[in-house]
């Protein structure tokens, strides 16, 4: 016990240090968003604002620089994120079930290709995707951008869900079949609740991917009314200087939906682990 106490203190201290290092940029971002300009550019910066102000948030929310209302960008980002989460989750679940439950030719090759796709940097695909969307007449459209986001989210989601599907005992499906449940009912009453934690995990990844993406949105969209929140940030950068107050305020507002989405689904990530094994 005496030897384990110093070890626990060391591990806890290391974990606390890593946590503080990871959280400090977020804390500084939120703190700067409430600081007036004279405190932001002060030679003796303080962790908390001495005279808090909401002027930067007012400028961002009312479109003082970006010329378009913040809520327009928010709506576009929300639509893209929700479509990406729902579509990628459905496609990945069907593919993961096929990979985990059936044996077919080139199954291993298919799994390897999913990993290879994840290794390709997004920047290398901008021009090919631009040409493809142009041929399909999907440039400057939310639908084309959603297809790109779904394409990037699905491979990772398949890998994640494959393990959850494989972990579901076949005996549960066989028992449901003996009780008279068909394939569809078995899937929704047995398989889906047990795979729910995996769907939650992949939905978080898909949501963050679509919500924070900048390169494809900035390249493929040409209409300011279709821009997303990450693109809005670039309006606060200029040749004469950067508006750091609005930048931090917009970044804080951009972070809140991600945190809210995680808090919304994190309970289901735990409760779904055993929900499918309980009858009724």
140-184 residue pLDDT tens? 899 999 999 999 999 888 888 888 888 888 888 778 888 887 777
Say what the pLDDT of residue 182 is.
Answer: 79
Average pLDDT over residues 185-190: 79
Find the angle CA(209)-CA(245)-CA(66) to the nearest 5 degrees: 65
Instruction: Lowest mean pLDDT of 36-40, 213-217, 265-269, name the range.
Output: 265-269
- Supply 232's token pair: 């809005």
Q: What percent of the chain has a predicted confidence (pLDDT) above 70?
A: 91
What is the C-alpha to C-alpha distance for residues 79 and 87, in angstroms, rounded to an integer? 12
With a cut of 80, say whether residue 205 has pLDDT above it: yes
**What are the C-alpha distances in Å from 86 to residues 166, 246, 259?**
22, 32, 18
Q: 204 vs 188, which has greater pLDDT?
A: 204
Inter-axis angle of helices 107-119 and 142-167, nearest 10 = 130
DSSP symbol at 278: S
Query: b/e per residue, 29-64, with b = 16+ CB within 10 A?
Result: bebbbbbbeebbeeeeeeeeeeeeeeebbebbbebb
Q: Sign of dihedral through CA atoms 215, 216, 220, 222?
A: negative
**pTM confidence score:** 0.82
- Supply 269's token pair: 């990530």
Q: Which of 95, 70, 2, 31 is nearest to 235 (CA)?
A: 70
Say what the pLDDT of residue 2 is.
Answer: 52
Say what the pLDDT of residue 270 is.
Answer: 56
Backbone angles phi, psi at 240, to 5 degrees: -80, -10
What is the C-alpha to C-alpha distance for residues 207 and 258, in angstroms, rounded to an integer? 8
Overall size of the chain counted in residues: 280
- Confidence at 211, pLDDT banded by 50, 70, 90: very high
What is the C-alpha to C-alpha distance for residues 180 and 202, in angstroms, rounded to an integer? 32
- Supply 208's token pair: 């963050």
């Amino acid at each position: 016990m005496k030897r384990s106490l110093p070890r626990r203190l060391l591990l806890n201290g290391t974990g606390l240090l890593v946590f503080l290092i990871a959280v400090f940029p977020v804390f500084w971002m939120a703190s700067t968003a409430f600081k007036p300009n004279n405190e932001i550019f002060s030679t003796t910066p303080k962790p908390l604002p001495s005279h808090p102000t909401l002027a930067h948030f007012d400028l961002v929310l009312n479109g003082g620089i970006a010329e378009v209302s913040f809520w327009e960008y928010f709506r576009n980002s929300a639509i893209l994120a929700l479509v990406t989460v729902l579509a990628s989750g459905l496609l990945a679940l069907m593919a993961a079930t096929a990979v985990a439950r059936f044996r077919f030719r080139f199954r291993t090759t298919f799994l390897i290709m999913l990993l290879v796709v994840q290794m390709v940097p997004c920047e290398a695909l901008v021009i090919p995707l631009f040409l493809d969307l142009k041929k399909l007449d999907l440039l400057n459209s939310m639908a084309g951008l959603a297809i790109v986001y779904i394409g990037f989210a699905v491979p990772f989601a398949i890998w994640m869900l494959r393990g959850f599907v494989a972990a579901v005992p076949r005996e549960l499906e066989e028992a449901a079949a003996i009780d008279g449940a068909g394939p569809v009912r078995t899937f929704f009453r047995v398989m889906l609740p047990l795979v729910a934690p995996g769907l939650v995990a992949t939905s978080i990844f898909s949501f963050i991917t679509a919500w924070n993406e900048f390169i494809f949105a900035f390249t493929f969209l040409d209409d300011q009314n279709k821009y997303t929140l990450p693109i809005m940030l670039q309006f606060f950068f200029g040749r004469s200087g950067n508006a750091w107050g609005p930048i931090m305020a917009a970044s804080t507002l951009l972070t809140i939906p991600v945190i809210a989405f995680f808090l919304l689904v994190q309970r289901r990530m735990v409760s779904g682990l055993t929900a499918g094994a309980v009858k009724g």
